[in-house]
Chain A
Amino acid sequence: MAGSIKDRVAIIGMGCTRFGELWDKGPTDLVVDAVEEACADAGVERKDIEALWGGSIFTAHGGRFFTEALRMQYIPASHLVNACASGQDAMRNAAYALAAGIYDIVLAVGVEKIKDEGMSGLPGMDNRTHTHAVATMPGVFAMMATKYFHRYGLNPEEGKTMLAKISVKSHANGSLNPKAHLRNVLTVERVLNAPIIAWPLGLFDCCGVSDGGAAAIMTRADKAKEFRKDPVYLKALQICGTPSSGRITSEYDYTHVEESYRAAVAAYEEAGITDPRGEIGMAEVHDCFSITEAVTMEDLQFCERGRVKDDIEAGTFELTGDLPVQPDGGLKCFGHPVGASGIRMVYELYLQLQGRADKRQIKNPKLGLAHNLGHEPYAPLCSVCIVGL
């Protein structure tokens, strides 16, 4: 790659709605609430925004959805549909337009109004001839847990206990977050006794399915201090696409996510990071399911392959640990309005870096990493975004 986004673009304002089953909020409410908060935070007005990129997979249809909701006056608007990485891809496109010197102020926004669909969970996979195996999203990630347990010799109880601790940690964090969808505190016992959704994953191994919106106002680095004293700079933002070969050839082991690993390697190179475990101070990763968070810790090189259990048991990823993960509760508890999630993650890192995370505040957060994983483990699209002061 010839170029790098490192320190060329800054976030000067962010907004995020409460996530949850927001029966009385429509899609427009979620966009307007998130963008109004972001504009107020940045000290800019909507008319100052020169272009926007919006992420959404169910709710929006074209850039017009966003300009209509916000009554934006004749500016270019693009709609990003890139699975669970839609929000971060909106940020990436916005960042590149700034780095190219085309605009001064742009908006990246993500929204999802899933709970208008009347369904449990997200849609499963299907193909044009309806021959696709009928597993749901919990199902295809459950198969990663089955294989992980098998490969590393964990019996179901050991494996499920390891995963339960991930969810317990995220609920503890989510309980401190007034904007989180799920704010109850769990015990390992309760997680283990919950109904099975897709064996071996139970109810509390699955993230919330939520409505929500999140937004970021971004500018070029050279202008950032005109807006605030503590802008947050992009250090890296990488997306890794997939050849979808994990589903058809035997190389894929189903105990890691190659695209997460490669997005992280590219992002570390872009940010100049050589010791991820030492240099990253906090992470918001795509914990759609507990097993996803477990293997992501290994894919991000926070721990060795097959060894995440040691760090989970040592409390490494808890709010008071060496490398807090999901300080805001994660997808697990903050919730997962798909198009908004990537920007929501950056919102938490942004607040933490500025010391505005209240009861969840991490001491010396250094650099923050946000990671998304779209589609299924054997054919995903992943993003890794690194931010810092």
Chain B
Amino acid sequence: MPGERAVAYYDEDSVTMAVEAALDCLRDFDPKSVDGLFYASTTSPYKEKLCSATMALALSLRRDIRTVDITSALRSGTAALGFALDAISSGRSDSILVTASDVRLSPPSGMTEQALGDAAGALLLGKENVIAEVLDCYSVSDELAATWRGEADTFIRSWEDRMTMDESYSKVMPEAISGVMKKAGLNTKDLARVVFDPPGDVRRHGRVAGELGFDPAQLLDPGGVFMTVGLLGSAMSFVMLVAALEQAKPGDKILFAAYGNGADAYVLQVTDAIGKLSERRGYAKHLESKGMMRSYNDYLRWRDIVPLDQARRPERGHISLAANWRERHVDLGLWGIKCRRCGTPQYDYGGMTTTPIRVCAVCGAVDDFDDYNFARRKATVFSYTHDMLSPSLDPPTSVAMIEFEGGGRSLFDLTDRNPDQVQVGIEVEMTFRKVFFDRGLNNYFWKARPIRC
């Protein structure tokens, strides 16, 4: 199959990618102003544990917010969007952050695997200064699923796609799109952009668009997201919508729809505020700053599809839930301190002792600190190594001592790096990653990476 696909790095999963998208989305917003966080995915790392609660700490959101995971459905992103809109229009919330993220696996070497991509999108919903207003929505529920995974399945299963295309996608998608247009009193010419999920056989996407009477120019670079990033599961419609918004002008009406056991369709109208929104990486800049994988073998290793030879290194101990909980703000939120007496920012994830910091390393003050967050600060590489002895899914293990802008330093793993381009003095930024897995628990933490773009 032609084109390119986005593949999550070995230390990414649907939670870390959702955090990455959310950080980009929240740029220049006060995270404390957000009233809720919804995480939509078919690839939650947990059957029983709330990922949005973990993400809320990484994003430094308030504690009195609504955190919800909406899982299993390929259209969980648009489902979450609907719940968020209902919460806001009912007056129960002013602002909700909705994320959709997926890292789906298909059995190796098949057509489905070639079609899949890994991605996340994030939308911040609110009442004021909106860049696009939701005009209407329409949903269709359908029992027929083209793909599924049972409780014990790692990989996607599917029925003969000719049948599911005919009886599912090709019926429910037009039904939802026509439904929302009729409800909103719009015809095809009123829409500046129409973005909707393609199915496994991407040709069906064009056929539906043609049958509905849309001009190819109304579609978003027809097939573009699919051909350059892949089929993105619950993140598909979000990523396509973000891509459409990046090209939109005030007044544009955008229709977007997601597919999976039925379909959800929305119509938005872009406002003047879009011109005032600060720059984000969004779709285009992330795509521009992509890195190329060396080989398919790396993919198989990163996704744990083929086992890695055991390193002759000591086993790391078990996760302590108690220690994780005690240090949740330090580890998940990357919170350190700023000493009130000497003003020195300090971050310490604990070398030998436990964190949080109790004694200032510069002036010796005890517990006389203000909280100080390092997650959104840039830093520079003070020194580094590429360690061949430390086991890694993408050797060498790159590690750097970094100095944060404004003060504070620490030793961090370097990720998304080209070893040849790491130098003393290069700028890095912090990114949320999966660092350890033990007995069903994921430990998430922050790594440094050369500034992406």
Contacts and interface: CB of A to CB of B under 8 A. Distances in A.
Contact of A248 (B382, B408, B412): B408
A142 B348 contact: no
Contact of A143 (B320, B396, B399, B408): B399
A119 B312 contact: yes
Given A131-B435, A147-B382, A150-B424, A136 B387 contact: yes
B401 A143 contact: yes
Given A129-B331, A131-B435, A136 B409 contact: no
Contact of B385 (A132, A146, A247, A379): A146
B389 A245 contact: no
Given A130-B443, A134-B413, A250 B403 contact: yes
B319 interface: yes
Most chain-B Cβ atoms within 10 A of its Cβ — which of A133, A245, A378? A133
A120 B389 contact: yes
A199 B312 contact: no
B410 A247 contact: yes
Contacts of A150: 383, 424
Interface residues of A, number: 45
A379 B350 contact: no
B350 A147 contact: no
A129 to B, nearest CB: 5
Given A138-B389, A198-B387, A250-B409, A127 B399 contact: no
B321 to A, nearest CB: 10
Interface range for B: 35 or more
B314 A197 contact: no
Contact of A247 (B319, B327, B409): B409
B383 A249 contact: no
A379 B351 contact: yes
B387 A128 contact: no
B384 interface: yes
A117 B438 CA distance: 21
28 contacts: A119-B314, A124-B390, A127-B352, A128-B350, A129-B320, A129-B327, A129-B331, A129-B350, A130-B317, A131-B349, A131-B350, A131-B443, A131-B445, A133-B412, A134-B387, A135-B399, A139-B389, A142-B385, A143-B385, A143-B401, A146-B384, A198-B385, A198-B386, A245-B362, A247-B351, A247-B410, A248-B348, A250-B409
Interface of A: 117-121, 123-136, 138-140, 142-144, 146-147, 150, 195-201, 243-245, 247-250, 254, 378-379
Interface of B: 311-314, 316-317, 319-320, 323-324, 327, 331, 344, 346-354, 361-362, 382-390, 392, 396-397, 399-401, 403, 407-413, 419, 424, 435-436, 438, 443, 445
